[in-house]
Amino acid sequence: MKYQVNYLYPNLGCAYLVCANLTNADLKYADLKDADFTSALFGGAKNLKVEQLLEAKTLYKVTGLPLEMEKELKEKKPELFERPKER
Banded model confidence at residue 73, pLDDT cuts 50, 70, 90: very high
Q: Give the number of C-alpha atoms closer than 13 A to the C-alpha of residue 25, restricted to the C-beta side.
A: 20
- Is residue 71 included in any domain, yes or no? yes
pLDDT at 9 over 70: no
pTM: 0.85
- Is residue 87 included in any domain, yes or no? no
- Is residue 85 included in any domain, yes or no? no
- Is residue 21 included in any domain, yes or no? yes
Q: Which residue has the higher pLDDT, 15 or 42?
A: 42
| pLDDT, position 52 | 96
CB atoms within 10 A of CB 60: 17
| pLDDT, position 6 | 52
pLDDT at 22 over 90: yes
Q: Classify 73 as helix, strand or coil.
A: helix
| pLDDT, position 35 | 95
| pLDDT, position 87 | 57
Question: By residue range, what is the domain housing residue 59?
Answer: 7-78
> Could you give the number of structural domains in the chain?
1
